[in-house]
Amino acid sequence: MSQTRASIGLMEKHNLTLSGLGRSFGTTRAVDGVSLDIGSGEFVGIIGRSGAGKSTLLRLLNRLVDPTDGHISFAGRDITRMKGRAVRDWRRQCAMIFQQFNLIDRLDVLTNVLVGRLAAHGFASSMAMRFTDAERALAIQALHRLDLAPQALQKAGTLSGGQQQRVAIARALVQNPRILLADEPIASLDPGNATRVMDALRTINVEDGITVLVNLHTLDTARAYCDRIIGMRSGRVVFDGSARALTNDVVREIYGSDDFGDFNESVTSTAIRSSVPA
């Protein structure tokens, strides 16, 4: 159940392929003809101004939102055509974390992490929240990796924001995912906590080979952590390249030249640097 480096070596590598993916809400094209090939183990940052379609793209990927056109495939399977149980299994494979953590405040940290195992349970056992010893061991191991073992029995609502986001990452990890989707995971954290959360994502990516796609609203974070940066504007991909290729001209194209002055202050405000070797 637990993923080790050795087992990753045996794990088949699969690309995540988006072809002409689109989603409309009324007349709004939230995502508009996005085609991307994301390799196994990549660490991808998605940037763009508010409303560019970043969240919708992640939600399309884990089928929280259905596309109006185009396809997503993974390991030769058409994700967009999946129904019922297959969708639930896919969601287990691509765990999602959110800006607001989405923990159950009144439950302890360990139980919150174990919630990540529920996707693998039947309905009755999910309702009863019954977990095996092996699952508890897996959850404690995940907490240990995120430096949260001492907080295992503390109520989630009493933790700092950064700790809560790391609990959410531990909960994602016990799902044993192939892909981790993170929608602005550090947007409500101070720089110190933001660094710890980004470092944790990077460590998981490097050590476990899990593909990470993370929406970010600060350019310096994207530059510091991401192998590949995707810039979206009005639902479309307008940049796809390395941090080095993300020049000021490109940034202007992504965010729109009219607000260059505004965005320049707002999107670069969190000065954090990766302390995890790539």
Ligand X SMILES: Nc1ncnc2c1ncn2[C@@H]1O[C@H](COP(=O)(O)OP(=O)(O)OP(=O)(O)O)[C@@H](O)[C@H]1O
Q: Which residues bind to ligand X, rule: CB under 6 A?
A: 25, 28, 30, 48, 50-56
CB of 143 to ligand X, least distance (A): 29
CB of 104 to ligand X, least distance (A): 24
> Cα–Cα distance between 189 and 162 in angstroms, integer?
6
Which x/- pattern over 21-60 shows residues binding Mg ion (rule: CB under 5 A)? Answer: ---------------------------------xx-----
Q: Which is nearer to ligand X, 98 or 119 (CB)?
A: 98
CB of 50 to ligand X, least distance (A): 3
Report residue 240 as tokens: 């796809």
- Rounded to 5 degrees, what angle do the CA atoms 275, 276, 278 make? 130
Signed CA dihedral, 103, 161, 175, 228: sign only: positive
Q: Which is nearer to ligand X, 24 or 160 (CB)?
A: 24
Q: Which is nearer to ligand X, 98 or 243 (CB)?
A: 98
Q: Which is nearer to ligand X, 57 or 140 (CB)?
A: 57
CB of 53 to Mg ion, least distance (A): 8
CB of 80 to ligand X, least distance (A): 18
Partner whose footprint covers residue 173, from ligand X, Mg ion, none (CB < 5 to 8 Å by kind):
none
Bridging pattern class, strands 179-183 and 94-98: parallel
Amino acid in position 249: D
> Cα–Cα distance between 262 and 51 in angstroms, integer?
16
Signed CA dihedral, 225, 227, 232, 238: sign only: positive
Question: In what side-by-side order are the strands of the sheet with 228-233?
Answer: 94-98, 179-183, 211-215, 43-47, 228-233, 236-241
Q: Which is nearer to Mg ion, 18 or 140 (CB)?
A: 18
- What are the residues binding Mg ion (CB under 5 A)? 54-55
